[in-house]
Structure 1
Amino acid sequence: MSMSTPAAMPARVDGTSRGRIIFASFIGTAIEFYDFYVYATAAALVIGPVFFPHSSPAAQALSAFVTFGIAFIARPIGAFLFGHFGDRIGRKATLVASLLMMGVSTTLIGVLPGYASIGGLAPVLLCVLRFGQGIGLGGEWGGAALLATENAPEGRRGWFGMFPQLGPSVGFLLSNGLFFGLALGLSDADFRSWGWRVPFIVSAVLVVLGLYVRLKISETPAFRAAIERHERVRMPVAVLLRQHWMPVLQGSLAMVVCYTLFYISTVFSLSYGVATLHFSRQSFLGLLCIAVVFMAIATPIAALASDRFGRKPVLVASSLAAILSGFTMLPLLGSGRIELVALFLIIELFLMGATFAPMGALLPELFPTNVRYSGAGVAYNLGGILGASIAPYIAQLLANRGGLSWVGGYVSVAAVISLLGVLSMRETRDASLMTQAGK
């Protein structure tokens, strides 16, 4: 097949098919991140006392944050595993499998007995299921981004790649909204006894919806073209690490600020707001629900800007703003005043949306078709280890020892790391996803 034929293929995807594909890429990430955030919220509120009954509340919080970080260790493993099959057998089947893995793990956490019922086996099983969540999410994002970008028309990959990036905002709203409703409707005893399990069990219903949508879509044009040109490789991960390790590193560094902004703003700030600032659970969850709307607003704005001006200018500007935002933590969050705390959360989550949106197009653009699922997924999830896996834990330690100004410094340092990663990249806005070289 000539190179001109595949290049024309995206234009043959009609509007109805594109709408279905966009929805499939969005709904999957929304469900997967709903599952992931359900655990993050529970870790900040109740996982410690239920599964780690230490005498000290601080020790309980640290233990809960350790289990939170386990999934981020698992995510690159999931990216390697599902990336292999995504580059070998296709995007569609692999996305179905990753969604199943995440849904089953999350639902089982919802019915897992606590330490009071089964003793030390409870935290062990919790860690295993949290690891399963990480494996599932590790395989999700890369495939969802490719589903959108490999079907995007010329010059609109940033916009199409934005829809998987909207999934986290919606997933977070669903998760926190449900926890918020439970906090309002249940007594503290009922919430700690069984109420916190409801959002985990609801995941089973959402996964059925996601599977129905994903089973209706077809394979992407870029992958079909790679099959016809016999470009698939036997071991995509080996080729990726041997020939494309630099884009993996660059993409991982670029992702650090996204993760740090989000998990410091949500997991750490929620725990700090309730335990130290003495906000009620429902009050702080309500503030987070408001703030994440601004994250959702920033996402399409940054995506459109990345199509018009390029990925790098948008990411450089938002990373510089994130560096400055670290200095707002002490005067805003530390004030304990509801309006200033809300402003802090809005700033951080708006910047998270601005840094996160271009990644849906940028990371796939860094890699050729035959390793694109692996490359985009691995870069995305390695960034999670650096920016999120230990972020709440480190933030808790820094807050205990040096106060919120140290935590703000941590945010600024993470933004500097991402800025360096972005500056080292080539601009990818005009790259072709239909060619073997990905250029």
Structure 2
Amino acid sequence: MAPSSTLTSPQSGPLTTRTDEDLAPGDIAVGVIIGRASEYFDFFVFGIASVLVFPQVFFPFTDQLTGTLYAFLVFALAFVVRPVGTLIGMEIQRKFGRSTKLTVALFLLGCSTVAMGLLPGYNTAGETAIVLLALCRVGQGLALGGSWDGLPSLLALNAPPERRGWYAMLGQLGAPLGFLVASSVFLYVYSSLNSDDFLSWGWRFPFFTAFAINVVALFARLRLVVTHEYEKRMEEHELDPAHLHELLPAQGHHIVIGAFAALASYALFHLVTVFPLSWVALSDPTGIDDFMKMELLGAAFAAVAMLMSGLIADKVGRRNFLGSLAVAIGVFAVAAPFMLGGGKPGQAAFLLIGFVLLGLSYGQSAGSVTSNFLPHFRYTGAALTADLAWLLGAAFAPVVALYLSSQFGLISLTAYLMSGCLGTLIALRVNKRLQAAAVVHD
């Protein structure tokens, strides 16, 4: 006979008698980490290629700076269409189930990424090559939106109340892991080949690797999603798609507040991963190898900091923690131009400090206020909150930062990051007042 124990929820008390086939928080966490890491790998491969490859392969008709800006605009497309992908995925889920939706989404993500590695360059296909690249990027965005499986929400609801910060962090851990793998693969190919071989065929290898990683991620997540216990837990917590005409009038403001609450972290996200690589590629191309190695170290720092964020947030509270980090990111924003423009020692400081702040803040940014949603709105509300946060904070960060820096100098980074910090602090303040008003009303 299988051993059993009782699993409880702070909302509903005892849920079920737990057997070996039940889903423990640790089981859910594994699926979340593997799934998110694969998604981030796909996106970081595109981001790195936007700097090292696409300006020469798809935009050779213009200068390096303009070509990189064009590539970053294509990069942003995925975040623009991501909410559409979420809504399409929700509709597929209503008609065919969660496992079908997830399979379609990850298959589209893997195929879109692999297809990029098969595309002809501008010198071969002209403008058609750019159009195909953009379509593949749109495919990535639609797939990422459609791949929302509710695992982070289920993980948070099943986690012990005193460890919510720790379990909330686990889903975010896929970001530094995905970046580590993507950067390592690109660094190996970039440093092993001469420039001609890299730009003709070598750059395609990381895109092909993505398909194998997505297959592993798909099975890791389906292992959870297709189980009866998973469906049972989702139903118990009412984690099913909600219709927009019901969600938006009732609690649409929580989507906006949640997106702005995470703005500082999401603005920082691409400003310490993708943007600085573009700045170095334009200002000191010979230093790209060393800079990418330093980014790998920074990503490792981010992973450790992310683990620490879970422990700290459980001590001081997630929202207080996010507010303090928004202030810390503001201080970092003031020093950022001097560090990034201060040669290799300054660039190393920019990366390591920036990645630590990213790990601490991003580790707690997801769902920081999604507990405000009513249970039957939480599944869709959490997904759309993340979509809006990516769109407002991260989608155009590389192209805006690179353009402003090229026109007005690195000081523009300060203004950009400070705006994100201000957005976070205002949103957290508004959320606190709404909660206080709700308590008084009750």
User: Could you say what secondary structure the match of 2:223 adopts?
Assistant: coil
- Note the 1:61-76 alignment, pairs <5 A: 61-76=68-83
The match for 1:125 is 132
Q: Does 1:207 align with 2:214?
A: yes
Task: Indicate if the aligned counterparts of 2:240 and 2:380 stay in contact, CA closer than 8 A.
Answer: no
| Residue 353 (structure 2) pairs with residue 347 (structure 1) | yes
**2:3 alignment counterpart:** none
**Farther-moved stretch of structure 1 (236-245 vs 202-211):** 236-245
CA RMSD between the two structures: 2.7
1:414-433 matched pairs, under 5 angstroms: 414-426=420-432
Distance 1:297 1:22 in 2: 17
Structure 1 residue 187 and structure 2 residue 194: aligned?
yes
1:94–1:363 Cα change, 3 Å: farther
* Aligned match of 2:288: 281
Pair 93,14 (structure 1): closer, same or farther in 2 beyond 3 Å = farther
CA distance in 2, matches of 1:216, 1:352: 31
Q: Which has the higher contact order (CA 8 A, sep 6+)?
A: 1
Alpha-carbon spacing, 1:50–1:67, altered in 2? closer, same or farther (3 Å): same
> What is the aligned partner in structure 1 of residue 31 from structure 2?
24
Q: Answer whether contact 1:148 1:163 (CA < 8 A) is retained.
A: no
Partner Cα separation in structure 2 for residue 165 and residue 393 of structure 1 = 24
- Amino acid in the other structure paired with 1:372: R
Q: Is contact 2:260–2:427 with CA below 8 Å preserved after alignment?
A: yes
- 1:193 positional shift: 0.9
Displacement of 1:177? 0.7
**Cα distance in 1 between the residues matched to 2:93 and 2:360:** 28
Q: Distance between the aligned counterparts of 2:17 and 2:284, measured in 1? A: 54
1:280 to 1:236, Cα distance in 2 relative to 1, 3 A? same
- Corresponding position of 1:371: 377
Amino acid in structure 2 at the alignment position of 1:415 = C
Contact 1:256/1:386 (CA < 8 Å) preserved in 2? yes
- Residue among 98, 102, 105 paired with 2:109: 102
Distance in 2, matches of 1:5 and 1:127, equals 44
Task: Give the superposition deviation at 1:279.
Answer: 4.4
Decide whether the 8 Å contact of 1:30 with 1:168 is kept in 2: yes
State the distance in 2 between where 1:25 and 1:34 align. Answer: 14
SS at match of 2:160: coil
Distance 1:317 1:85, change over 3 A: farther
Q: Which residue of 1 aligns with 2:234?
A: 223
CA deviation string 1:88-120 (max 9, x = no partner): 876555444332221121111111111122221
> % of aligned pairs identical?
31
Q: Which residue of 1 aligns with 2:406?
A: 400
* AA at the equivalent of 1:160: Y
Matching residue's letter, 2:186: F
Q: CA deviation at 1:141?
A: 5.3
Contact 1:98–1:137 at 8 Å: present in 2 too?
A: yes
On the 8 A contact 1:172/1:292 being kept in 2, the answer is yes
Equivalent AA in structure 2 for residue 383 of structure 1: A
Does the 8 Å CA contact 1:32/1:140 hold for their aligned counterparts? no
Change (3 A) 1:142 1:237: farther
* Segment of structure 1 superposing worse, 16-25 or 299-308: 16-25
Judge conservation of contact 2:165–2:310 (CA < 8 Å) in 1.
yes
SS of the equivalent of 1:8 reads strand
Q: C-alpha separation between the residues in 2 aligned to 1:350 and 1:4?
A: 32
**Distance in 2 separating the partners of 1:354 and 1:408:** 20
Q: Does the 8 Å CA contact 1:30/1:167 hold for their aligned counterparts?
A: yes
* Cα distance, 1:211 vs structure 2: 1.6
Gap change, CA 1:370 and 1:247, over 3 Å in 2: same
2:164 maps to 157
Q: Describe the superposition over 1:41-61 as per-residue Cα deviations: whole angstroms up to 9, x where unpaired.
A: 000111122112223112111
Any conservation in 1 of the 2:367–2:382 contact (CA below 8 Å)? no
1:304 to 300, 311, 320: 311
1:46 pairs with 2:53: yes
Question: Residue type of the partner of 1:389?
Answer: A
Secondary structure of residue in 2 paired with 1:215:
helix
**Equivalences for residues 259-298 of structure 1 within 5 A:** 259-298=266-305
Determine if contact 2:325/2:357 at 8 Å carries over to the other structure.
Answer: yes
Give the Cα separation in 2 of the matches to 1:257 and 1:391: 12
CA gap 1:381/1:350 in 2 versus in 1, 3 angstroms:
same
Give the structure 2 partner of residue 80 of structure 1: 87
Q: Which runs of 5+ in 1 are unaligned?
A: 430-438
Q: 2:203 aligns with which of 196, 200, 208?
A: 196
Aligned residue number for residue 434 of structure 1 = none
Q: Tell me whether 205-214 or 10-19 shows the greater mean CA deviation.
A: 10-19
**Contact 1:29/1:167 (<8 A) preserved:** yes
Deviation at 1:85, TM superposition (A): 5.1
1:194 Cα offset (Å): 1.1
What residue is the counterpart of 1:435 in the other structure?
none
Q: CA deviation at 1:13?
A: 7.0
For 2:244 and 2:257, the matched residues in 1 are separated by 17
Secondary structure in structure 2 of the residue aligned to 1:33: helix
Q: Does residue 1:170 correspond to 2:181, yes or no?
A: no
What is the deviation of 1:130? Answer: 0.2
Q: Which amino acid aligns with 1:130?
A: R
| Moved segments of 4+, more than 3 Å | 3-7, 10-17, 83-97, 139-142, 426-429
- 3-state SS, counterpart of residue 17 of structure 1: coil
- 1: CA distance, partners of 2:178 / 2:278: 20
1:378 deviation in Å? 0.9
Distance 2:363 2:20 in 1: 25
Measure the CA separation in 2 of the matches of 1:297 and 1:11: 35
C-alpha contact 2:33 2:174 (8 A) present in aligned 1: yes
Distance across 2 between alignment mates of 1:347 and 1:284: 15
Q: CA deviation at 1:238?
A: 2.2
Matched pairs, number: 423
Work out whether residues 78 and 137 of structure 1, in 8 Å CA contact, stay in contact via their aligned partners in 2. yes
Matches of 2:10 and 2:243, distance apart in 1: 25
Task: Give, as a single letter, the amino acid of the residue that structure 2 aligns with 1:225.
Answer: E
- 1:156 and 1:15 map into 2 onto residues whose CA distance is 23
The CA deviation at 1:84 is 4.9
